[in-house]
Amino acid sequence: MTAQDGTARQAVEHLLLELPHQEAIRPDGTDVSFQTAWEIRAFALAVAAHQNGEYDWTQFQEALVGAITRWEQAQGTTPYRYYDRWLEALESLLAARGLLDVADVEERTRVVLTTPRDTGHHRAHREPVAVDAARA
């Protein structure tokens, strides 16, 4: 890790330490951990918007507490996932600040889901794409 990465990391760790449910952020008790790529992107979006001055970190903290509370009150209609609540918190906060319309997110998501990433690419390739034969 370079010194620059270390500094960026410290700044982010500082933000993360202020959030509720540290056990979800650090499942093994020490290091921050993510399970999927989208969790990391959702994390990065919330920090980037904060760093751009769109909201104070305490406001994100409150939005996250609010999203988790709503999930708890809904009594298990969906499995608890920290970064799912995180995403909800981010959307609700941006909407409350007039920066985003949640209906637009719904529509854009539908577009993403219906646009093939690459039509040929959804095919399974069952043979090697290249073979370099033995020479000896």
Partner 1 sequence: MTRTEITPSPTVTPRSEEQIAARVKALEAMLIEKGIMTTDAVDRLAEIYENEVGPQLGAKVVAKAWTDPAFRERLLADASAACAELEIGGLQGEDMVVVENTDTVHNTIVCTLCSCYPWPVLGLPPNWYKAPAYRSRIVRQPRAVLREDFGLDVPDSVEIRVWDSSSELRYWVLPQRPADTEGLSEEELAGLVTRDAMIGVGQPLHPGR
Residue 65 C-beta: closest distance to partner 1, Å: 8
Distance CA 70, CA 84 (A): 12
In this structure, are residues 89 and 67 in contact, taking their beta carbons and an 8 Å threshold? yes
- Token pair of 58 as six digits: 């305490």
Minimal distance, residue 88 CB to partner 1, in Å:
4
Quick one: 13 or 23, whose CB is closer to partner 1? 13
Length of the chain: 136
Distance CA 25, CA 17 (A): 9
Residue 29 or 77: which CB sits closer to partner 1? Answer: 77
CB of 110 to partner 1, least distance (A): 8
23 or 104: CB nearest partner 1: 104
91 Cβ contact partners less than 8 Å away, ≥ 6 residues apart: 100, 102, 105
Of 19 and 93, which CB lies nearer to partner 1 in the complex structure? 93
Nearest to 86 by CA among 126, 28, 136, 36: 36
